[in-house]
Each structure stands twice: as C-alpha cells, then as structure tokens.
Structure 1
Amino acid sequence: MTTPLGRPAVRQAWAAARMVLVMTVLLGLAYPLAMTGFAQAAFPGRADGALIERDGEVVGSSLLGQGFDGRPEYFQSRPSAAGEGYDPLASSASNLGPENAELLAAVEERRDAAAALDGTDPSEVAPDALLASASGLDPHISPLYAEQQVARVAEVRGLDEQQVRELVAEHTDGRALGFLGEPGVNVLMLNLALDASGGRAD
C-alpha cells in the first residue's frame, strides 16, 4: 500500500532526474558546442592553440612559453614551475612562500646564471629572469629582460645590436586595452624573427 507521502517523493525524484538530464544536455553538450563553434568562427587561430609553424613543422604556440636553455643565440624565457617546465598539462606556480629557503636558493641560482650568460651585474638582473609566472606558461618577458639579453644575442649571431633592438620592439606587445598589465616581449616570435633575419641558428 502506497503512503500519501510516497507519491510526492516519487514525483520529486522524477522531476529532479529530468532536470539533471535537461541541464546535462544544455550545459554539458549544447553550450560547449556553441562556444566552440563561436570561437572557431571568430578566433580560429587562437581557438586552435595559436600554433606556430616553420617549414611545415609546428614549433610552438604564441600563447605558451617554452625553454631555450643552452641556446645562447636565442632570447631566454622566464623560469617555469609548470611540471618539468612549460608543461601545459601542469600549469602552476611553485606555491613557495617569499621566505621559503628553496625559493630563495632558486632565485640566487637563476640570478647567477642570468648574470653570467648576459654579462650583467647580478644586482641588475631583471626580476622576471628570477621568478616564474603564476601559470608557468607565460610566453612573454619584460622589455627590461629583453634589453639585458640584446648584446649577447647580437654577439653570438654576429648581428648589429640596433638591429636586434628593432626586432625586440617589433615583437613587444603593449598593455591590454591600453592600460591593463605591462608591455611584454613574445619570446618565441622574437626568436623566430631572429632566425629569419640573421640566419637560422643550428
């Protein structure tokens, strides 16, 4: 025998199940498909990851940083704490506090390495050469860090420093909307331009 309270409970459960089904279709299928279609139509390059090709081979993305360690002919990116470095599947900062001994040691190690590589006084090394970005995937460095590297890149490639500075200026992005954030230099795009203008570095 069904109690008076049984039927309302069944009706509520059935209504809840139907709502879950409807919302799953709307928000789990229809909405993502609509946004994907909009992105493909309005921003096809960025929607596909802003992949950069050279000679028919994908060499990176203009939206993601990558390392150029051991390649003095290239501008160096800022450090990365994402996975083993620049891993888009493990985007994160180190989450180490400002007084953490491991972080302080890493900063000093990076300072010494950058100063030695660029012939810069350790006290004048750009801040973004010392600390990773919050995502670990920042494709940009500051104009200050780029300027720190100009003389070294020009010397290794046998280019005039002014020519290298002009390339840096061409690949410097301004503030978002003209007032948000700070200008940044896209490292991958700059390095590809260097290869195109000064002979490909092997």
Structure 2
Amino acid sequence: MSRRGAGQLGTAVRALVVMTLLLGVAYPLLVTAIAQLAMPGRADGSLVERDGRVVGSSLVGQSFAGDPAYFWSRPSAAGGGYDPQASGASNLGLDDPALVDAVRERRRQVAAANGSRPGDVAPDALLASGSGLDPHVSPAYAEQQVARVARARGLDVEVVRRLVRAHTEGRTWGVLGEPRVDVLALDLALDAVGERSTDAAD
C-alpha cells in the first residue's frame, strides 16, 4: 500500500472511531441522561406498579378478555397480542376473509358477554389499532361493558360508571384525537374498590 493510501486509511479509521464515540456512545448517553432528569417515568417505559410489583405500562395495552370482572381492551395484532417487539397491524384488507371472519367472531363474543345487540358493538371492540399496543378504548366500548363488570363484581352500576368517567381522558391539547378510557388504570381502580369493600367487611 502506498504512503498516500496508508494515510487515507488512517484518517478513515480515526474518523470512524471519533464518530462512533460521539454518535454511538456520547450522544445516546446524553439523551438518556436528559430523559432521566426531565421525565424519568416515561424514560423507563411509563411502568405502572401495584404493591411494589410492575403490572403493566400506561403506554402499552394488555388483554383482559375472558374475565368478566375486568374491562376488556381492544384486539391486538402485535405478535401474540400487545407485543411491543412486534408492534403493527394485521395488514388485512377490509374484504379479506380472515379479517371478516375475525370481526364476525369478535362481534359475537363481545355482544354475548355484554348482553348487547351485535349491531351495537363499538368498532374498537372489533378492530385492532395500527400499533397493536393501544392501551385505551372508546367511552362507547367502556359503557357497553359497565353492566357486565358491575354484575361480576357485585357492584352498583353507577359506581362502575363513575370510575369509567374518572378514567376517561379528553382529546390531547383539547383538539387531537378522541376521548378515551385508560383500561389498565380503570381495572386497577376496580380492584382497589374491591379491596376497600373487603376491608370494610372485615
């Protein structure tokens, strides 16, 4: 290799090392430090703890389907369901037989569980979100589940309905998106009501 070629190679290697240290080490550490100082909860994944145990994240939904005592989330097509490493939609077209059959079955199950007419089932009970990780449901879908949850827990319907209202978030900045209900926070609040009832009985 010529002296000139060796010089160019040395310059390239030095540039690689410097850029790796700057952009691969220093920059990520700086951004992480700023995030930890400015918003530690979000930087760590917005984890939700109950009695010292992590029970979920306020950013990632989870399935409660099948348990009548809990509000159910919307369906998820992310991996096996709510898998943050496989975030995404089903990518099935509206006339795809697989999606049509899935929607039909979801409509049947949700209507039967909540005692509602199949035609009245809220759309977000039937279709997954684009990310497959949505932790919220619409107020309409939450309302359709109120009677079932109240019955399963032995609570007055109005008590459950008040909890739904307390965990309903408005539009972001008052204009973006739609009102939504935080399913995990709502279900944890229901558990807390049950614990208070048990304590009172004791």
- Same fold by TM-score greater than 0.5: yes
Aligned to 1:14: 10
Which of 9-18 and 116-125 deviates more? 9-18
Match of 1:188 in 2: 184
Which segment drifts farther, 153-162 or 126-135? 153-162
Q: Say whether residues 1:177 and 2:173 are aligned partners.
A: yes
Task: Name which of 66, 89, 93 aligns with 1:93.
Answer: 89
Contiguous gaps of at least 5 residues in structure 2: 197-202
The answer on 1:162 being equivalent to 2:158 is yes
TM-score when normalising by structure 1: 0.90
Cα distance in 2 between the residues matched to 1:162 and 1:104: 35
Bigger drift between 23-32 and 75-84 goes to 23-32
Alpha-carbon separation, structure 2, partners of 1:16 and 1:191: 57
Residues 25, 143 of structure 1: CA spacing in aligned structure 2 closer, same or farther, 3 A cutoff? Answer: same
Identity across the alignment (%): 64
What letter corresponds to residue 176 of structure 2 in structure 1? L
Q: Deviations over 1:74-96 (max 9, x none)?
A: 00000011111111221111111
The reply on whether 1:79 has 2:75 as its aligned counterpart is: yes
For structure 1, which runs of at least 5 residues remain unmatched after alignment?
none
Partner of 2:200: none
Q: Distance in 2 between matches of 1:145 and 1:11?
A: 68
Counterparts of residues 1-202 of structure 1 (less than 5 Å): 2=2, 7=4, 9-199=5-195
Quote the Cα distance in structure 1 between the aligned partners of 2:96 and 2:119. Answer: 21
For the aligned residue pairs, the C-alpha RMSD in angstroms reads 1.7
Q: Which region of structure 1 is more displaced relative to structure 2, 138-147 or 87-96?
A: 87-96
Deviations 1:27-81 (A, max 9, x none): 1111111111111111111111122222222211111111112210000000011
Report the TM-score, using the length of structure 2 for normalisation. 0.90
Q: Deviations over 1:11-41 (max 9, x none)?
A: 4443333332222211111111111111111
